[in-house]
A and B are shown apart, each in its own frame.
Chain A
Amino acid sequence: MAVITRGFGGRRRDDTDLPPGQYRTDDFPVLSAGPTPRIGLDKWELAVVTEIGERSTWSWTEFTALPADETTVDIHCVTHWSKFGTRWRGVSVDTLLADVETSAEYVVAHCYGGYTTNIPLEDLIDGQAWVAYEFDGEPLAPVHGGPARLLVPHLYFWKSAKWLRALELRLDDEPGFWETAGYHNYGDPWREQRYRAD
């Protein structure tokens, strides 16, 4: 029998367009499993590596010269907060993969600082995912994943890896940092796929 603490307000869950178990926040909470990596833009590089080891790389100058999209999306963190109407600018993953030959079905996102997360390739293409470098009209802050982060808004936000360094295309699936520690392998917020057994 839980003890209810008189006068402690808690959260409100009165929004109808929230996935199950989420509450709405207007802040942008900073969650991190480690220290914030500081990557100078002159050293920064983004790579796409295929299943046979072919690498395509972009320097910061090359990357930010690619065609970019503005997108406004809702984001859903597995720790139960959702934030509506977040505005990003970034390069569609379709653009990064345009000249890449692959028969991979899976992707592992590798990050500065060592974080990894795995996502089916089909969830990153056809306009569903970006490598974002601006938030709300400003350069993406380091605590939120700058210089650039993955943005996959239809999955829980741990899949939108901060400080992205490389997308590794694979024939087999390779669970990432949270996926090997009890979290769901796919992470659909609308089906509340938080944990492995969900």
Chain B
Amino acid sequence: MARAAIPGGLTWRPATVAATRAETATARTLVLDVDGWTGHLPGQHVDIRLTAPDGYTAERSYSISSAPGPGRLEVTVQTVIDGEVSPYLVDVAGPGDQLEIRGPLGGWFVRRPADPRPALLIGGGSGVAPLVSMVRAATAPTRLLYSTRSPSDALFRADLAAAEAADDARVAVTHVYTRVAPPGWPTPPRRLDADALARVAWPHDADVVAFVCGPTAFVETVADLLVDIGHNPANIRTERFGPSRG
């Protein structure tokens, strides 16, 4: 239902689907055009609201996966079986369709462009989305450790490969596969553990900021491992991410 905006408060504004891009069999990126959008900080999210012709509305939050920029943003949505919003966004929405967004939102799980510290980004599943925005906008050394069940579940494959191939070698990407590894992969599939983390992380005495995003159990495990290998808890920011309502 439409409701009046509170003066000074954030408001819902119309967004138009400009394009869609399949990421995997069950996830896709939506490119949204928003009049007056002035950009975001990597790590921020937007709330998306869908309104049915009978007035029924549903709202969900999605991380922004694009690099900051005016007028346009991208969200990447993993479909949730029996979900209400994600199946629409992944399977139905197409160019020209309209929805509403509120944002950009959240000032805590953000990578500020002026922060000169190296960033260690650790993502599980579709929790990589806000980290990919950080990768795209990286100006300081950035390492991404990305855990998925299998290669075919990995989002942003081409984008991450391109970021890693850039001349300045600012970005390094390491994949971890928990169920199925590609042929010839050096290690059998396994959960992300202290070894894998230690191989990617900077020495613990370096002034590094870490961002962890994924399902709850993944985030708790990784945050504990980071502390175990010597990271300062004050420099670890976490965001639980994951499909349960969809």
Taking A3-B100, A5-B98 as contacts, is the C-beta distance between A11 and B56 under 8 angstroms? Answer: yes
Taking A7-B93, A7-B97 as contacts, is the C-beta distance between A2 and B51 under 8 angstroms? Answer: yes
Known: A10-B54, A10-B57. 11 other contacts (CB 8 A): A1-B2, A2-B2, A4-B52, A5-B50, A5-B52, A5-B88, A6-B98, A8-B50, A8-B88, A11-B54, A13-B54
Whether A6 contacts B54 by the Cβ 8 Å rule is no
Bound complex: CA of A10 vs CA of B59, how far in Å?
12
Return 10 A-B CB contacts under 8 Å, by A number: A2-B1, A2-B51, A4-B53, A5-B93, A5-B99, A6-B97, A10-B53, A10-B54, A10-B56, A10-B58
The answer, yes or no, to whether A9 is at the interface (CB within 8 Å) is: yes
The digit string for A1-43, where 1 denotes a CB below 8 A from any CB of B, is 1111111111101000000000100000000000000000000
B contact residues, total (Cβ < 8 Å):
19
CB distance from B3 to the nearest CB of A (A): 9
The answer, yes or no, to whether B14 is at the interface (CB within 8 Å) is: yes
The 9 closest A-B pairs by CB, nearest first: A10-B52, A10-B56, A2-B2, A5-B50, A8-B50, A11-B56, A7-B92, A5-B99, A3-B14
Whether A8 contacts B98 by the Cβ 8 Å rule is no
Instruction: Mark B residues whose CB is within 8 Å of A.
Output: 1-2, 14, 50-58, 88, 92-93, 97-100
Bound complex: CA of A2 vs CA of B54, how far in Å?
11
The digit string for A164-187, where 1 denotes a CB below 8 A from any CB of B, is 000000000000000000000000
CB distance from B15 to the nearest CB of A (A): 8
Bound complex: CA of A46 vs CA of B189, how far in Å?
49
CB distance from B43 to the nearest CB of A (A): 26
- For the residues of A in contact with B, the DSSP-based class is loop
Chain A residues with CB below 8 A from B58, complex form: 8, 10
CB distance from A197 to the nearest CB of B (A): 16
Bound complex: CA of A9 vs CA of B55, how far in Å?
10
Whether B54 contacts A3 by the Cβ 8 Å rule is no
Whether B52 contacts A11 by the Cβ 8 Å rule is yes
Bound complex: CA of A2 vs CA of B99, how far in Å?
9
Chain B residues with CB below 8 A from A8, complex form: 50-52, 58, 88, 92
Bound complex: CA of A1 vs CA of B92, how far in Å?
23
Bound complex: CA of A13 vs CA of B54, how far in Å?
9
CB distance from A45 to the nearest CB of B (A): 32
Bound complex: CA of A1 vs CA of B98, how far in Å?
13
Chain A residues with CB below 8 A from B53, complex form: 4, 10
Taking A10-B56, A11-B56 as contacts, is the C-beta distance between A4 and B2 under 8 angstroms? Answer: no
Taking A10-B56, A11-B56, A13-B54 as contacts, is the C-beta distance between A3 and B99 under 8 angstroms? Answer: yes
Contact among A5, A13, A23 with B51 in the assembled complex (CB-CB below 8 Å): A5
Chain B residues with CB below 8 A from A2, complex form: 1-2, 51, 55, 57, 100
Whether B52 contacts A9 by the Cβ 8 Å rule is yes
CB distance from A80 to the nearest CB of B (A): 9
Bound complex: CA of A23 vs CA of B57, how far in Å?
13
Residue of B nearest to A12 (CB): B54
Chain A residues with CB below 8 A from B93, complex form: 5, 7
Bound complex: CA of A1 vs CA of B51, how far in Å?
11
